[in-house]
A and B are shown apart, each in its own frame.
Chain A
Amino acid sequence: MKRFFQVAWVIVRKDFTVEWRSREILYTTLFFAVSCVLVFAFALVREGRPMEDAAAGILWVAIAFAGTLALGRTFERERQSETLRALMLAPADRPAVYVGKLAGILLLLGAVEGLLVPLVGVLFDAPFWARPGWMLALLLTGTLGFASVGTLFAAMLVRARSRDVMLPVLLYPITVPVIIAGVRGTAALIQSTPDEPMARFWVSLLLFFDVVFVTLALWTFEPLMTE
């Protein structure tokens, strides 16, 4: 068990070091997320006022789009330098490799959300921080749900043809429950009187989703990544 987390930690550190040298994925993903928000502003703002609940939708769609981009880029890097094979040849548990990769993606998305949440909150006049605990729980469980499926799919698509198109094609139908839960949960929190029982329902649904899909991913990562 200790070795499992050691391997995962080494992979996180490796990914962080590589990313920190260029910060390519971080900066491009951040800018992409901001552009998404801008595009939505034109669609969902009428006479200077955003539509009701628009902020919740914009936030989660921006997270999903930026997340897809980050997932694709992270594994593209492994493919370009042929390092994924090295990673797979390493005498380490495959599930540990998955956990390491997942943690790296979560860190990256966490950084993106750190900018995105205040930005959408300010631009669309949405009090995301009215109930900070619930908001944080939604973001955490939602991002984990999205990334757990995304990391597995992005990893197995590395060797596939037309992987850039295939990732969203496979990922979005599966992660729809995450998007619905994220949007509805956030919308419940930014109402004039925050609806905490509703937020609690969505957080628990997301938690359940996370448990099922992380387990499933750990279970299928080995047979999927074996040539």
Chain B
Amino acid sequence: MKKAYVPMLVVTALMFAVAPVLIARAPFETTMGLIQKIFYFHVPAAMLLFGSAFVCGISSGIFLFRRTPSADRVATAAAELTVLFGLIVLVTGPIWARKAWGVWWQWDARLTSSLLLWMMFVAYLLVRRYGGPGAEKLAGAMAIFGMANVPFVYVSVNYWRTLHPKTSVVPTLAPEMRGPFWFSVAAFILLYIVLLTARRYLEAQRARVEALHLALED
């Protein structure tokens, strides 16, 4: 992973540099016009919001039952990234909604469940930061319960109401839009992996410093 890191970082940077050109070249959507371009950021970020939540939940489970510190580091990094990508989703969504629906926010199924998922991981970070000793276990439980809760939130909120464009719009995209879209998705996934690796490494170094500090005191 260490050897691949720098090339991956370079590729990600290049992809993010090229993406705006591709997005600008993609055709305008007939009804939405320019505002539709937000889609190239919004959807990949939303995919990572959900993906990252599962990464965090699964590594928290491994940490709770196996007590491997490295799993806990992955979980922390993934939780922070869930919140970060969630923030991108929750900022770009309303910008689009203002144009498309005339309001910033609708209590629609997908919006509400994304917001709730995001809040669960904000709660994860809060309990981790302010929970005091043993907080990593509490946070781990929060991640597992949060992950298990995703289908329930989804079903309950769906029955409550629905407005958001269906995910089935992705296969029906115009071919000229499909290229830039999947390019954006790939760029976002790479960015996610780069950030996750960096954050995990940072956390590992922090643990080492702490161990050295303790050794010095003894």
Contacts and interface: CB of A to CB of B under 8 A. Distances in A.
Do A and B pair up? The answer is: yes
A173 B132 CA distance: 21
A149, A156, A184, A212 interface centre (most CB from chain B within 10 Å): A156
Given A180-B156, A180-B160, A223-B64, A173 B141 contact: no
Contacts of B146: 173-174
Interface of B: 64-65, 116, 119-120, 123, 126-127, 130-135, 137-138, 141-142, 144-146, 148-149, 152-153, 155-157, 159-160
Interface of B is mostly: helix
Interface string A114-157: 00000000000000000000000000000000000100110011
A166 interface: yes
A170 B156 contact: no
A53 to B, nearest CB: 12
A220 interface: yes
B185 to A, nearest CB: 27
Contacts of A212: 148, 152
B152 A166 contact: no
B127 A169 contact: yes
Contact of B149 (A177, A205, A223): A177
A227 B146 CA distance: 23
A213 interface: yes
A182 to B, nearest CB: 10
A170 B127 contact: yes
A125 B157 CA distance: 27
Given A170-B127, A176-B153, A177-B156, A216 B138 contact: no
| Number of chain A interface residues as a range | 20 to 34
B159 A220 contact: no
A170 B65 contact: no
A162 B156 contact: no
Given A166-B130, A205-B152, 17 more contacts: A152-B141, A159-B134, A160-B131, A160-B138, A162-B130, A169-B123, A169-B127, A170-B127, A173-B119, A174-B145, A174-B149, A176-B153, A180-B160, A184-B159, A212-B148, A216-B145, A220-B64
A187 B80 CA distance: 38
Interface of A is mostly: helix
A161 interface: yes
Contacts of A220: 64, 141, 144
Contact of B123 (A162, A170, A180, A213): A170
A152 B153 CA distance: 20
B148 A170 contact: no
A224 interface: yes
Given A180-B157, A223-B64, A153 B131 contact: no
Contacts of B138: 156-157, 160, 166, 170, 224
Contact of B141 (A161, A181, A224): A224
B157 to A, nearest CB: 7
